[in-house]
Structure 1
């Protein structure tokens, strides 16, 4: 198993697309969690734009996790699609499996690699967010006060769970559709369009849709992010339920996506 994981990590580490996804995530976090809000703060006299608190060191974890229910999560989904779908695009599945004792072992290596990639993403974004928060706090002459280590660890765990769930959705779509482009398109349409239509259009009109939101992957991810300090004016972030229920829902989706993808890969002809 470990040689399979090592080989898969080596393949993904050499892919420029994965590093581009990481760079994009950093740029989005810095721009929309710090640069634009800080510019708005400096130019605002009152209203939401005048609130500096989310950008200070004590709240850096909330700023780091804020984009994960939608935009950063979309990048994690693309990461998962690339890991599982590229072997279909390159037509190398048969070559790989001829050298392996089982499809499941190869698949589990891909799942572990996707999760480790999300862990790297989360750790880097938390470090970048901490540095940006320190810069803002210092620039404004505020006292540097970091959150408790337990709170940071909780935020890291929640962020890893959210991004891993989206990555496993990408893995499932790639295996189900045996492609790269179509799974990416379907995943992004769901995350960036359908979720917003449900929350912004259907939920205010239909009570059962409003109640259903908390049980959907995007709603659960947004609830967990909001409970850990993410700004609720961030797209897809809204505290629809408590952190315990949100974590259980996300874990259930992660397991369902992984099991369904493994089942399809094992049962279908390549």
Structure 2
């Protein structure tokens, strides 16, 4: 499934806002995705921090952090963590968990950060939703430029071939009494998910879309950005990546 994409409502003018900045700011987004596996997320954070052998005092950026579940857990491991997201609502909610070593801020991932980090994590397919393809390269460069000299970055993306092979074209998912009618399809190099539902006396329709980026697409962009791709994994246990079998495309670079 698509995960952390941020689409525009059907009746909203495309010029009014970036299309990925509306659905994610609604409470219904969090209702639909409330059953995400936190245990799996924590296992991934345990594995990736051990693999990277991060020092205890490492500064970590959780880029496109949403409501901060990864950032909060990373902070519980002792790291100094900043969670950054374009969604003001998500940052407002995450900020209630802030402390001396856990900070949250509104930030556009296309922009280089003011400070440098020992590790930058872009997790749960929080990439590839820009209207302009060039923004993907801009984002990679911004991540690269926000790392310390010895820092590492990690992008956790869906494995497009696996997703397409297992795509469920239509289904209805009921959460908290709301029937979410979902349609999924591939079109113009993007994977779409249409979400229609009725709630609070209103009918809603949102469309998520994310570019169907494969490993070779990332490799080409990284080469152009002067980025060194160190390792590739296929799941949160950091097992080998297989093009047609792996659920995830996890890339470590510097």
Say which structure is richer in helix. 1
TM-score by length of 2: 0.29
- Rg larger in structure: 1
Looking at both structures, which has the greater relative contact order when contacts are Cα pairs under 8 Å and sequence separation is at least 6? 1
TM-score by length of 1: 0.28
Say which structure is richer in strand. 2
